Structure 1
Amino acid sequence: MQQIKHQHSMKYWKQILIAQQQSGLPATEYCRQQDIKYNAFYYWLRKIRKEFAEVVPQLPAETTSGPRFAVLSTAAVITTVPALSQSSMLKLSCGPVILEITESTSRQLLTQTLRCIKDVFPVC
């Protein structure tokens, strides 16, 4: 029963965190407008980030400088399809973070990346 309650709380707070990001308001202002306790907001933000970090498989360290990943803190994702001369590349932008996927991107890396994005943005 406690596990079900925990899952319900996680889902509820994920929706709140996504709504705050989509609002464009700072967390303090969003909490004030929605009558949400600021400490509760940040408690759940830390808890959700921690659980996410625990379930995301850690990629082995590479000796060459390969792609690096960061957890996105916003739900606003902009997709750009490059010109025909670069048709083998997909570029995703989210704030200052840019993810470029080329034909040489491994299927395993792309699968892991998409799973991470799906976990962060469950509404997609």
Structure 2
Amino acid sequence: MNTRLATNQIRLSEWTRIIKDRCQSGIKVDEYCERHQLSRHAYYYWLRKVKEAALIHNSFVELPALPEKTVPATTSENLFTYQMTIAIGNTILGVSESTPMELLSKVLEVVRNA
């Protein structure tokens, strides 16, 4: 392993820990950065790098389970049966076998860049 790659892996590991710590603390990014004397710019730069690394190295990302009541049930008004639902904040995305891959790809790209 070359030095540059090793250094990047160490930084990535450290920033992964920092980002997890900030998420678990429940405080806003600006406040967390101020308390820990971190640059807001650096935080978001490494957040992007950590996300990119997670997408490259993992084909699955662990998501917290949602309470059952937040996932829409199939009713006569909702004729779609979802094989998977993706919840982001108050938005729920239902995905079925008939969902066009091109549409799903574009939606996930927009979500990732939001």
With normalisation by structure 2, the TM-score equals 0.51
Counterpart Cα distance in 1 of 2:63 and 2:24: 7
Percent identity of equivalent pairs: 26
Asked which structure has the greater CA Rg, the reply is: 2
Q: Which structure ranks higher in relative contact order (CA pairs < 8 Å, sequence separation ≥ 6)? A: 1
Instruction: Give unmatched runs, 5+ long, in structure 2.
Output: 57-61
The answer as to 2:77 corresponding to 1:83 is: no
Counterpart Cα distance in 2 of 1:22 and 1:92: 21
**1:50 CA drift (Å):** 5.6
Counterpart Cα distance in 2 of 1:77 and 1:48: 19
Say whether the 8 Å CA contact 1:77–1:92 is kept in structure 2: no
Aligned positions, number: 90
Instruction: Give unmatched runs, 5+ long, in structure 1.
Output: 57-74, 118-124
**1:13 CA drift (Å):** 0.2
Q: Deviations over 1:13-64 (max 9, x none)?
A: 022113212322111322344xx2221x5314214426829x87xxxxxxxx
Letter of the aligned partner of 1:7 in structure 2? Q
Distance 1:50 1:16, change over 3 A: closer
